[in-house]
Amino acid sequence: MLNNPAARRLSSAVLEPPARLLLRLHVSPDVVTLIGTLGTCTAALVFFPRGDFVPGCLIIAAFVLCDLLDGTMARLSGRAGPWGNFLDATLDRIADGCVFGALMLWAAATQSAWTTAASLACLVGGQVISYAKARAEAVGATANVGIAERAERLIVVLLAALLAGLGVPYVLPIALGILAVVSVVTVIQRIVVVRRQLYAKPDRAES
């Protein structure tokens, strides 16, 4: 959804001015990546476990922009490359883990076991989705499929948490349950597509 050309053009138009400003101030894209991760993790772990979803979501949304800015800065400065991709992907896993881990702490303290289990499934599923793609590329395949990409998962859970903070009942447990299901489906989709690719190339298939 967020990878189509129209969305990319819109994001470039919005992000390029602040990205150019930061570059003129000699701010490194890596620094922006690190600040975004630290801000997201701190906000999630401070606010979410105690149910303060409105400030937590607003702060996280602000820092999530860093995740978009760093790529734009790297492209404009000619620094885009394997190191930036590696750092960004690694820190994204940490940020996602903190968001869903903090929600699991909230669920364990105030919600049913099912909501806690859904939070755990989202946490584990998100990590496996990313790992499956990386591991597929390591064995000569691709796994760019799935109904629950990272951006969509974050948008859904942050919007649900914001609505929960504004007093809408049941929305966050329902959203976590849906995300748990689609995360599992995405993992299965990636396993299936990689298996098909590797079995089409028997010399590259692993026993």
Is the Cβ–Cβ distance between 33 and 70 less than 8 Å? yes
The predicted-structure confidence for 74-114, as pLDDT tens digits, reads as follows 888 887 788 888 999 899 999 999 999 999 999 999 999 99
From start to end of 32-131, where are the E strands? none
Q: Which two tokens stand for residue 177?
A: 């349950």
Q: How confident is the model at residue 205 (pLDDT cuts 50, 70, 90)?
A: very low
Q: How many CB atoms are located within 10 Å of the residue 75 CB?
A: 16
pLDDT in tens, 104-163: 999 999 999 999 999 999 999 999 999 999 999 999 999 988 888 888 899 999 999 999
Nearest to 104 by CA among 112, 96, 92, 116: 116
Q: Give the Cα separation of 2 and 51 in Å (integer).
A: 29
Contact of 154 with 40, CB cutoff 8 Å? no
Which residue shows structure tokens 């590797």? Answer: 198
Domains of the chain, start order: 5-204 (1.20.120.1760)
Q: What is the pTM of this model?
A: 0.87
Residues with catalytic function? 92
What's the confidence (pLDDT) of residue 42?
Answer: 97
Helices 113-138 and 82-110, packing angle to 10 deg:
160
Q: Which of the residue ranges 8-17, 129-138, 164-173 would you say has the lowest mean pLDDT?
A: 8-17
Whether the Cβ atoms of residue 70 and residue 32 lie closer than 8 Å to each other: yes
In Å, the largest CA–CA distance within the chain is: 57
Report how far residue 189's alpha carbon sits from residue 200's, in angstroms, rounded to the nearest whole number.
Answer: 17
Mean pLDDT of the region 186-205: 85
